[in-house]
Structure 1
Amino acid sequence: MAGRWFEQFVEGEVIVHDTRRTVTETDNVLFTTLSMNPAAIHLDHDYSSRTEFGKPLMNSVFTLGLVVGLTIADTTLGTTVGNLGFEEVKYPRPVFAGDTIHSETTILAKRESKSRPTQGIVTFLHRGLNQRDEVVCECRRLALMMKAPA
């Protein structure tokens, strides 16, 4: 099992994830069109060239998914029952095609489930950083996690 069982998470622990990914224009166009988001700021180079950014922005929902996805192998792969929610999603800096994103996770809290004795709830703070170590995305995620088999 690549992920951790509920008991293996330690409040306050910071996990630095090794996997990094450079985002591309193709990622942005595919995700934006597949998710039916017609915003010119993601798809139109001419329009985007006249914005304060000067070029298309990566779709923020793609960025969120990537930031969380980069954490899965070290945290919840094969040991999660499911996500319970995302809270306080923030994007302090823009992401552009060509940026390389990496993630880190802080374990904010954990508690045993009141209704499921073989499971517990972990609150993660995920941060996505670019190649300059600037935070580009941050969110809290609550996950229902399996306890280790008896």
Structure 2
Amino acid sequence: MKYFEDLEIGTITRSPRSYEVTREEVIEFAGKYDPQPFHLDDEAAKQTFFGRLSASGWHTAAMTMRLMVETFQAGEPQAGLGSPGIDELKWIKPVYPGDTLRTESELISKRRMKSRPDMGLTKSETRVFNQDDELVMSMIGNGLIRVRDPDAPVED
């Protein structure tokens, strides 16, 4: 089991597989959660910045979450406790049906929580790339992870 103390700033973790974006999934997701015409209709999409049917940014974030969870599951089990949120999310390039996405996450900071000495707070930058290695999305997210020794002193 990997605990807070085992995490090293600068570590980069890559998704073990990629995710193929399908037209059907783009339309299904948009129909349920982001029913804007350029996510639902080819002709409407042609008249926009996107030029063709594109995935919702929220769909891209959901596919990213899937890849991140699969990455966690493929690696050494972690004493993860969930996430208190995201600090930054950027949709950099449109994602289209037929694209294949992959992720890499870099641990950029970590600290023990003074209010909860049994937990650590991590901050990671996740970058999402398409099949041409173009950056399509980035986010900085926070994670909570169990501390191996909650009685150890919390450093400032």
Structure 1 length-normalised TM: 0.87
Q: Aligned pair in 2 of structure 1 residues 147, 74: CA closer, same or farther (>3 Å)?
A: farther
Structure with greater Cα Rg: 2
Residue 7 of structure 1 deviates from its aligned partner by 2.1
The match for 2:53 among 56, 67, 80 is 56
Query: CA offsets, 1:98-132, max 9 Å, x none?
Result: 10000000101000111222211010100000001
Asked if structure 2 preserves the Cα contact closer than 8 Å seen for 1:68 and 1:126, the reply is: no
Asked if structure 2 preserves the Cα contact closer than 8 Å seen for 1:128 and 1:137, the reply is: yes
Q: Distance in 2 between matches of 1:149 and 1:99?
A: 44
Corresponding position of 2:111: 111
Give the share of equivalent positions with the same residue, in percent: 27
* Paired residue total: 147
Q: Distance in 2 between matches of 1:119 and 1:53?
A: 43
Corresponding position of 2:25: 27
**Amino acid in structure 2 at the alignment position of 1:47:** A
Q: Distance in 2 between matches of 1:38 and 1:70?
A: 24
Instruction: Point out the structure with the larger strand share.
Output: 1
Corresponding position of 2:64: 67
Asked if structure 1 preserves the Cα contact closer than 8 Å seen for 2:14 and 2:71, the reply is: no
Q: Distance in 1 between matches of 2:4 and 2:124?
A: 12
**Amino acid in structure 2 at the alignment position of 1:70:** L
**Amino acid in structure 1 at the alignment position of 2:124:** F
Asked if structure 1 preserves the Cα contact closer than 8 Å seen for 2:38 and 2:53, the reply is: yes
Residue 31 of structure 1 deviates from its aligned partner by 1.5
Corresponding position of 1:96: 96
Q: Which range moved further: 106-115 or 46-55?
A: 46-55
Question: Over aligned residue pairs, what C-alpha RMSD do you find?
Answer: 2.1
**Alignment gaps of 5+ in structure 1:** none
Corresponding position of 1:87: 87
Structure with more relative contact order (C-alpha pairs < 8 Å, separation 6 or more)? 1
Q: Aligned pair in 2 of structure 1 residues 7, 92: CA closer, same or farther (>3 Å)?
A: same
Alignment partner of 1:44 is 2:37:
no
Q: Aligned pair in 2 of structure 1 residues 13, 112: CA closer, same or farther (>3 Å)?
A: same
Secondary structure in structure 1 of the residue aligned to 2:15:
strand
Q: Distance in 2 between matches of 1:34 and 1:90?
A: 22
